[in-house]
Amino acid sequence: MAGTFLSDAPKLEMPVECTLGQDCYIQNYVDRDPGSGVRDAGCGGLTYDGHKGTDFALLTEAQMQAGVQVIAAAPGRVIATRDGEPDGAYASGLTVSGKECGNGITIDLGHGWQTQYCHLREGSISVNRGDRVKAGEPLGLVGQSGQAEFPHLHLSLRHDDMVIDPFAPDLQDACATNATQTLWSAPITYRPSGWLDAGLTATVPRFEAVLAGAPLPPPRDTAPALILWGYGFGLRTGDTIGFEITGPDGISIRTTSEVDASKARFFRYVGKKAPPGGWPKGRYDGQITLSRDGAVIARRTLTARID
Protein backbone atom coordinates (compact mmCIF):
# COMPACT_ATOMS: atom_id res chain seq x y z
CA MET A 1 0.00 0.00 0.00
CA ALA A 2 2.74 2.44 0.91
CA GLY A 3 4.33 2.40 -2.55
CA THR A 4 1.02 3.10 -4.31
CA PHE A 5 -0.09 5.58 -1.70
CA LEU A 6 3.12 7.63 -1.85
CA SER A 7 3.81 7.40 -5.58
CA ASP A 8 2.40 10.88 -6.23
CA ALA A 9 3.02 12.38 -2.77
CA PRO A 10 4.42 15.92 -2.70
CA LYS A 11 7.73 16.85 -1.19
CA LEU A 12 7.32 19.66 1.31
CA GLU A 13 9.61 22.58 1.97
CA MET A 14 9.94 24.23 5.36
CA PRO A 15 6.78 26.41 5.47
CA VAL A 16 8.14 29.20 7.70
CA GLU A 17 11.14 31.45 7.11
CA CYS A 18 12.92 30.60 10.33
CA THR A 19 15.59 28.21 11.60
CA LEU A 20 14.35 25.32 13.72
CA GLY A 21 16.11 25.18 17.06
CA GLN A 22 17.14 28.84 16.85
CA ASP A 23 14.19 31.17 16.33
CA CYS A 24 11.38 28.61 15.93
CA TYR A 25 10.57 25.01 16.83
CA ILE A 26 7.92 22.33 16.37
CA GLN A 27 5.50 22.48 19.29
CA ASN A 28 3.08 19.75 18.19
CA TYR A 29 3.11 16.89 15.71
CA VAL A 30 0.21 14.96 14.18
CA ASP A 31 -1.59 12.77 16.73
CA ARG A 32 -1.16 9.22 15.43
CA ASP A 33 -3.09 7.48 18.21
CA PRO A 34 -6.47 6.27 16.85
CA GLY A 35 -8.16 6.45 20.26
CA SER A 36 -8.32 8.95 23.08
CA GLY A 37 -4.59 8.71 23.81
CA VAL A 38 -1.83 10.69 22.11
CA ARG A 39 1.26 9.58 20.17
CA ASP A 40 3.42 11.72 17.94
CA ALA A 41 5.61 10.66 15.03
CA GLY A 42 8.47 9.72 17.32
CA CYS A 43 6.26 7.63 19.61
CA GLY A 44 6.32 10.46 22.14
CA GLY A 45 3.63 12.76 23.44
CA LEU A 46 4.40 16.09 21.76
CA THR A 47 0.86 16.45 20.42
CA TYR A 48 -2.70 16.42 21.72
CA ASP A 49 -5.73 14.28 21.06
CA GLY A 50 -6.95 14.66 17.49
CA HIS A 51 -4.25 17.12 16.38
CA LYS A 52 -4.20 17.05 12.57
CA GLY A 53 -1.04 18.90 11.60
CA THR A 54 2.45 20.13 12.46
CA ASP A 55 2.77 23.32 14.54
CA PHE A 56 5.78 25.51 13.68
CA ALA A 57 5.97 27.87 16.66
CA LEU A 58 7.81 31.15 17.18
CA LEU A 59 9.66 31.75 20.43
CA THR A 60 8.11 35.13 21.22
CA GLU A 61 5.22 37.42 20.40
CA ALA A 62 7.79 40.06 19.41
CA GLN A 63 8.78 37.87 16.46
CA MET A 64 5.17 37.72 15.35
CA GLN A 65 4.86 41.49 15.55
CA ALA A 66 8.08 41.96 13.58
CA GLY A 67 6.75 39.61 10.89
CA VAL A 68 7.82 36.06 10.02
CA GLN A 69 6.96 34.87 6.54
CA VAL A 70 4.81 31.82 5.82
CA ILE A 71 5.73 30.25 2.48
CA ALA A 72 4.17 27.59 0.29
CA ALA A 73 5.47 24.16 1.23
CA ALA A 74 4.53 22.78 -2.20
CA PRO A 75 3.19 24.19 -5.51
CA GLY A 76 -0.50 24.22 -6.29
CA ARG A 77 -3.69 26.25 -6.72
CA VAL A 78 -5.25 28.27 -3.91
CA ILE A 79 -8.80 26.99 -3.39
CA ALA A 80 -9.77 28.81 -0.18
CA THR A 81 -8.63 31.71 1.99
CA ARG A 82 -9.89 33.51 5.07
CA ASP A 83 -8.54 36.71 6.60
CA GLY A 84 -9.77 39.30 9.08
CA GLU A 85 -9.75 37.14 12.23
CA PRO A 86 -8.03 38.87 15.19
CA ASP A 87 -4.82 37.53 16.67
CA GLY A 88 -4.92 36.40 20.28
CA ALA A 89 -8.71 36.05 20.48
CA TYR A 90 -8.66 32.47 21.77
CA ALA A 91 -5.94 33.20 24.32
CA SER A 92 -8.07 36.09 25.56
CA GLY A 93 -11.04 33.79 26.14
CA LEU A 94 -13.12 34.76 23.10
CA THR A 95 -15.01 32.11 21.13
CA VAL A 96 -13.62 30.96 17.78
CA SER A 97 -16.19 28.24 17.12
CA GLY A 98 -16.31 27.41 13.41
CA LYS A 99 -13.17 29.44 12.77
CA GLU A 100 -10.59 27.37 14.67
CA CYS A 101 -8.10 27.69 11.79
CA GLY A 102 -8.30 31.46 12.05
CA ASN A 103 -6.83 33.20 9.04
CA GLY A 104 -5.97 30.39 6.68
CA ILE A 105 -5.21 29.14 3.19
CA THR A 106 -5.95 25.82 1.50
CA ILE A 107 -3.94 24.82 -1.57
CA ASP A 108 -4.80 21.99 -3.95
CA LEU A 109 -1.63 20.14 -4.99
CA GLY A 110 -3.32 17.75 -7.43
CA HIS A 111 -3.84 13.98 -7.30
CA GLY A 112 -6.01 14.33 -4.17
CA TRP A 113 -3.37 16.15 -2.12
CA GLN A 114 -4.00 19.40 -0.22
CA THR A 115 -2.12 21.59 2.23
CA GLN A 116 -3.82 23.84 4.77
CA TYR A 117 -2.13 26.75 6.57
CA CYS A 118 -3.76 28.06 9.76
CA HIS A 119 -3.41 30.86 12.34
CA LEU A 120 -1.85 33.44 10.00
CA ARG A 121 -1.57 37.03 11.18
CA GLU A 122 -4.61 39.20 10.59
CA GLY A 123 -4.40 41.13 7.34
CA SER A 124 -1.27 39.35 6.13
CA ILE A 125 -2.57 36.86 3.56
CA SER A 126 -1.08 37.77 0.17
CA VAL A 127 -2.76 35.25 -2.16
CA ASN A 128 -6.28 34.88 -3.49
CA ARG A 129 -8.52 32.02 -4.43
CA GLY A 130 -7.60 30.75 -7.90
CA ASP A 131 -3.94 31.85 -7.67
CA ARG A 132 -1.29 29.36 -8.62
CA VAL A 133 1.67 29.38 -6.25
CA LYS A 134 5.14 27.92 -6.43
CA ALA A 135 6.95 26.19 -3.59
CA GLY A 136 8.65 28.85 -1.51
CA GLU A 137 6.25 31.62 -2.56
CA PRO A 138 5.14 33.97 0.26
CA LEU A 139 1.60 33.37 1.52
CA GLY A 140 1.38 35.61 4.60
CA LEU A 141 2.81 35.96 8.10
CA VAL A 142 2.83 33.71 11.16
CA GLY A 143 0.10 34.80 13.54
CA GLN A 144 -2.10 33.76 16.44
CA SER A 145 -5.60 33.82 14.95
CA GLY A 146 -8.27 31.21 15.52
CA GLN A 147 -7.75 28.55 18.19
CA ALA A 148 -4.14 29.43 18.90
CA GLU A 149 -2.62 29.90 22.34
CA PHE A 150 0.74 31.09 20.96
CA PRO A 151 2.12 32.42 17.64
CA HIS A 152 2.55 29.54 15.21
CA LEU A 153 1.73 28.09 11.83
CA HIS A 154 -0.36 24.94 11.77
CA LEU A 155 0.37 23.02 8.56
CA SER A 156 -1.93 20.14 7.62
CA LEU A 157 -1.35 17.73 4.75
CA ARG A 158 -4.26 15.66 3.43
CA HIS A 159 -4.78 13.03 0.76
CA ASP A 160 -8.38 12.44 -0.26
CA ASP A 161 -9.42 14.17 2.98
CA MET A 162 -7.27 11.84 5.11
CA VAL A 163 -4.68 13.49 7.37
CA ILE A 164 -1.12 12.50 6.44
CA ASP A 165 1.82 12.92 8.80
CA PRO A 166 4.80 14.15 6.71
CA PHE A 167 7.19 12.69 9.29
CA ALA A 168 5.80 9.17 8.85
CA PRO A 169 3.50 9.13 5.80
CA ASP A 170 3.33 5.37 5.25
CA LEU A 171 1.01 4.96 8.27
CA GLN A 172 3.20 2.30 9.83
CA ASP A 173 3.89 2.13 13.55
CA ALA A 174 7.64 2.76 13.28
CA CYS A 175 8.86 5.82 15.15
CA ALA A 176 10.00 8.79 13.06
CA THR A 177 13.38 8.74 14.79
CA ASN A 178 14.05 5.60 12.75
CA ALA A 179 11.91 6.42 9.71
CA THR A 180 13.58 6.09 6.32
CA GLN A 181 10.95 7.98 4.35
CA THR A 182 9.40 11.37 5.08
CA LEU A 183 7.77 13.96 2.86
CA TRP A 184 10.20 16.77 3.69
CA SER A 185 12.39 17.86 0.77
CA ALA A 186 15.19 18.60 3.25
CA PRO A 187 15.50 16.57 6.46
CA ILE A 188 13.70 17.97 9.51
CA THR A 189 14.86 16.32 12.69
CA TYR A 190 12.22 15.07 15.10
CA ARG A 191 12.83 16.76 18.45
CA PRO A 192 10.55 15.74 21.32
CA SER A 193 11.98 18.20 23.84
CA GLY A 194 14.54 20.95 24.24
CA TRP A 195 15.54 24.33 25.53
CA LEU A 196 14.39 27.34 23.51
CA ASP A 197 16.03 30.21 25.34
CA ALA A 198 17.94 30.98 28.51
CA GLY A 199 19.51 33.93 30.24
CA LEU A 200 21.16 35.50 33.26
CA THR A 201 19.31 38.48 34.68
CA ALA A 202 19.22 40.78 37.70
CA THR A 203 15.63 40.20 38.78
CA VAL A 204 13.13 37.35 38.94
CA PRO A 205 11.66 37.18 35.41
CA ARG A 206 8.03 36.59 34.50
CA PHE A 207 7.28 33.92 31.90
CA GLU A 208 4.86 36.32 30.23
CA ALA A 209 7.71 38.78 29.69
CA VAL A 210 9.92 36.07 28.19
CA LEU A 211 7.14 34.94 25.83
CA ALA A 212 6.52 38.54 24.82
CA GLY A 213 10.21 38.99 24.01
CA ALA A 214 10.57 41.83 26.51
CA PRO A 215 14.17 42.74 27.47
CA LEU A 216 15.32 41.62 30.92
CA PRO A 217 17.78 43.61 33.06
CA PRO A 218 21.35 42.24 32.76
CA PRO A 219 23.39 41.24 35.82
CA ARG A 220 25.13 44.12 37.58
CA ASP A 221 27.14 44.61 40.76
CA THR A 222 24.34 46.43 42.57
CA ALA A 223 21.54 44.03 41.50
CA PRO A 224 19.48 42.53 44.31
CA ALA A 225 19.83 39.03 42.86
CA LEU A 226 21.38 36.90 40.14
CA ILE A 227 18.91 34.70 38.26
CA LEU A 228 19.45 31.95 35.68
CA TRP A 229 16.31 31.12 33.70
CA GLY A 230 15.37 28.65 30.99
CA TYR A 231 12.42 28.29 28.62
CA GLY A 232 11.75 24.98 26.89
CA PHE A 233 9.24 22.58 25.39
CA GLY A 234 8.25 18.93 25.64
CA LEU A 235 8.73 18.42 29.38
CA ARG A 236 7.79 14.92 30.61
CA THR A 237 6.99 13.57 34.04
CA GLY A 238 10.16 12.17 35.57
CA ASP A 239 12.54 14.47 33.69
CA THR A 240 15.27 16.20 35.67
CA ILE A 241 16.17 19.87 35.28
CA GLY A 242 19.59 21.07 36.38
CA PHE A 243 20.83 24.64 36.93
CA GLU A 244 24.38 25.79 37.59
CA ILE A 245 25.86 29.27 38.03
CA THR A 246 29.54 29.88 38.73
CA GLY A 247 31.31 33.19 39.15
CA PRO A 248 34.27 35.01 40.71
CA ASP A 249 35.20 34.71 44.38
CA GLY A 250 33.91 31.14 44.52
CA ILE A 251 30.31 31.90 43.70
CA SER A 252 28.52 28.62 42.95
CA ILE A 253 24.81 27.85 42.69
CA ARG A 254 23.69 24.34 41.76
CA THR A 255 20.23 22.78 41.83
CA THR A 256 18.49 19.76 40.35
CA SER A 257 14.81 18.91 40.49
CA GLU A 258 12.59 16.15 39.16
CA VAL A 259 9.53 17.05 37.12
CA ASP A 260 6.17 15.87 38.49
CA ALA A 261 3.99 16.76 35.47
CA SER A 262 4.38 16.89 31.69
CA LYS A 263 4.16 20.31 30.04
CA ALA A 264 4.08 21.37 26.39
CA ARG A 265 5.99 24.56 27.26
CA PHE A 266 7.75 25.28 30.52
CA PHE A 267 9.73 27.93 32.36
CA ARG A 268 12.10 27.49 35.29
CA TYR A 269 14.64 29.65 37.11
CA VAL A 270 17.00 29.62 40.07
CA GLY A 271 18.90 32.42 41.74
CA LYS A 272 20.50 33.90 44.77
CA LYS A 273 20.27 37.15 46.65
CA ALA A 274 23.25 39.49 46.40
CA PRO A 275 26.05 39.01 48.95
CA PRO A 276 27.03 41.87 51.27
CA GLY A 277 28.80 44.51 49.23
CA GLY A 278 27.18 43.40 45.96
CA TRP A 279 28.21 41.02 43.22
CA PRO A 280 31.94 40.76 42.53
CA LYS A 281 33.02 41.89 39.09
CA GLY A 282 34.06 39.36 36.51
CA ARG A 283 32.73 36.52 34.39
CA TYR A 284 29.65 34.48 35.29
CA ASP A 285 28.80 31.18 33.57
CA GLY A 286 25.40 29.53 33.48
CA GLN A 287 24.35 26.06 32.40
CA ILE A 288 20.91 24.43 32.23
CA THR A 289 20.29 20.77 31.44
CA LEU A 290 17.28 18.63 30.73
CA SER A 291 17.75 14.93 31.49
CA ARG A 292 15.56 11.94 30.70
CA ASP A 293 16.09 8.36 31.84
CA GLY A 294 19.45 9.33 33.32
CA ALA A 295 20.86 10.97 30.16
CA VAL A 296 21.15 14.67 29.28
CA ILE A 297 18.97 15.31 26.22
CA ALA A 298 19.26 19.11 26.06
CA ARG A 299 21.79 21.61 27.35
CA ARG A 300 22.26 25.37 27.18
CA THR A 301 25.33 27.31 28.31
CA LEU A 302 25.77 31.07 28.51
CA THR A 303 28.10 33.72 29.85
CA ALA A 304 27.66 37.20 31.29
CA ARG A 305 30.05 39.80 32.71
CA ILE A 306 29.71 42.24 35.55
CA ASP A 307 32.18 45.08 35.08
CATH number of the domain at 221, please: 2.60.40.2550
CATH number of the domain at 111, please: 2.70.70.10
- Asked if residue 278 is part of any domain, the answer here is yes
- Asked if residue 145 is part of any domain, the answer here is yes
pLDDT tens sequence for the chain (307 residues) = 445 567 789 999 999 999 999 999 999 999 988 888 899 988 888 999 999 999 999 999 999 999 999 999 999 999 999 999 999 999 999 999 999 999 999 999 999 999 999 999 999 999 999 999 999 999 999 999 999 999 999 999 999 999 999 998 876 656 766 556 789 999 898 999 999 999 999 999 999 999 999 999 999 999 999 999 999 999 999 999 999 999 999 999 999 999 999 999 999 999 999 999 999 999 999 999 999 999 999 999 999 999 9
- Which pLDDT belongs to residue 30? 95
**Are 172 and 211 in the same domain?**
no
- Picking from 152, 178, 204, the residue at the C-terminal end of a domain is 178
**Are 109 and 200 in the same domain?**
no
- Asked if residue 184 is part of any domain, the answer here is no
**Are 171 and 198 in the same domain?**
no
**Cα–Cα distance, 195 to 199 (Å, whole number):** 11
- Which pLDDT belongs to residue 143? 98
Name the residue range of residue 287's domain.
194-306
| Total tally of structural domains belonging to the chain | 2
**Are 164 and 25 in the same domain?**
yes
Shortest CA distance to 115 belongs to which of 124, 106, 123? 106
**Are 198 and 170 in the same domain?**
no
**Are 53 and 201 in the same domain?**
no
- Asked if residue 105 is part of any domain, the answer here is yes
**Are 143 and 213 in the same domain?**
no
- Asked if residue 186 is part of any domain, the answer here is no
- Which pLDDT belongs to residue 172? 62
**Are 170 and 198 in the same domain?**
no
- Picking from 154, 178, 202, the residue at the C-terminal end of a domain is 178
- Asked if residue 187 is part of any domain, the answer here is no
**Are 8 and 138 in the same domain?**
yes
- Asked if residue 73 is part of any domain, the answer here is yes
**Are 59 and 117 in the same domain?**
yes
- Picking from 178, 205, 224, the residue at the C-terminal end of a domain is 178
